[in-house]
Amino acid sequence: MPETARHRGAALAVLSAASLMVVLDSSIVAVALPVIQTDLGFSAPGLAWVVNAYLVAFGGLLLLSGRLGDLVGRRKVFLVGIVVFTAASLAAGLSPNATALVVARFVQGVGGALTSAVVLGMIVTLYPEPRARVRAIGVYSFTQAAGASIGMVAGGALTQGLDWHWTFYINLPIGIAALVLTPLVVASDRGLGLRTGIDVLGALLVTAGVMLLVLGIVQAGDAGWTFLTIGTLVLAAVLLALFLVRQARTRTPLLPLRLLRVRAISGANLTMVVMVAGFLGFQFVTALYLQQVLGFDALTTGFAFVPTPVMIAAFSLGLADWLNSRFSPRAVLVAGLLTTSVAFLYLTQVQTAGGYASHVLPSLILMGAGAGMAIPALMGLAMSAATPDDSGVTSGLITTTQQVGGALGTAVLATAAATRTAEMLGGGASEKEALASGFRVAYGFSAGLTALAAILAAVLLGRRSAAAPADTAAEPVAS
């Protein structure tokens, strides 16, 4: 293998491992929440902030982090993010009380945003050749798509085999290794320079706006559509609208609005929001179904998800290159989304006495195949029109839409399931019957969301956009 190929492979491995660490963190912690609540004395509403504090900081800072990468150098931002994330992981593991853990989780979110926002842009720069880029994005997509399922297995094993502190300590060796290896295998980049200007007001508006948007969405899932939830979302909408106005008028925009006029970018980001809403809601609902209806424990639940990352690996690592070169990325994306929609439709048939093998396993396999097709294709389309100067902010944008879509999907599906469950309990159904009915409704929402994402991809990502990875690495695709 040529030296350059080995070097790039090592760089891709380090970047993907660091990205996987950030993705794993959320699902590993989710499995440990009941034990954390008992040990640190969290109230039921307070426990949600172990997850929410991370999501708010992470989602709110992604776009700013991506633009900082363009200005000061993506490798610098990546390394700072690793330092912050690793240090906050240690602090979280050592937390003596609930307040300390929530603060550490917020700081983890800051580090996660700095790390994640620039990774995709670094990979695109590292692999300018179209076919090599498709393979590299397939590797990155695997970490994004399979990370949550792998985290459930790891979280269950660590929580039951050791204790909840290790769900945070596990990040330390990965973070330290990334800090040591990144300067050795990832080339330094100069960036445009802060002297070109950074829109401070725009940064404040978008950070506050996205933070409030994520906060309002998670509040809707936890507490329902209260006056506070609606007020938070309205304020978020106002701040984001002011941000767009600001970007249209300033000479140094944080998010150049010309990027949103490129169909490959705007269409892919809109599709991403809807797709991830269906995908992450599926993980949340299925974990609850396995534990609350079928009686699985945390570790068994984690292992039950294993077929999904296995199938994602088979498609995103093994077949993505061939599929995207044999067919258009848009065709692969639509086929993958429709496959996942079929998986969700099958899950709408789950019963209280339904077995894992008959009702859940076939859907997990279909889900993994569909996600393994859809996510690499969509990531490639989202980055296809990014120029070297804009790859950081474009990467931050697609990661932001992932987070917003995930928060939105979890909130919508949780609300739908809870509403149906309450109706069934009010009608005299048993607890398991009521829960299963609620989960069936949630799966129906996921099927609808992924089908809608397929329609958006087919309509918004036209032939010229869909062909972008094959013929543009630096030139924008016209809308």
Residues 6+ apart with CB under 8 A from 19: 115, 116, 119, 140, 143, 144, 147
pLDDT at residue 449 above 80?
yes
Confidence bin at 378 (pLDDT 50/70/90): confident
d(CA 315, CA 370): 8
Question: Where residue 221 falls among pLDDT bands split at 50, 70, 90?
Answer: low
- Largest Cα separation within the chain, whole Å, is 69
State the distance between the two ends of the chain, measured CA to CA, in whole angstroms.
Answer: 39
Q: What is the pLDDT of residue 462?
A: 65
Contact predicate 436/351, CB 8 Å: yes
Q: Residue 1 above 80 pLDDT?
A: no
Q: What is the mean pLDDT of the segment spanning 83-97? A: 92
CA-based R_g, the chain, Å: 21
| Mean model confidence pLDDT for the chain | 78
- pLDDT for 349: 81
The runs of H, that is alpha helices, within 327-390 are 329-347, 361-383
Please, are residues 335 and 451 in contact by the beta-carbon 8 Å criterion?
no
User: What does the pLDDT read at residue 468?
Assistant: 41
Please report, rounded to a whole number, the percentage of residues in the chain having pLDDT higher than 70. Answer: 83
Secondary structure, 3-state, 367-385: HHHHHHHHHHHHHHHHHCC
**Measured between alpha carbons, how far is residue 186 from residues 8, 78, 119, 172, 474 in Å?**
8, 11, 11, 20, 21
Q: How far apart are CA 347 and CA 438, in angstroms?
A: 12
Residue type, 215: L
Residue 466 confidence class, pLDDT cut points 50, 70, 90: very low
| pTM for this model (two decimals) | 0.73
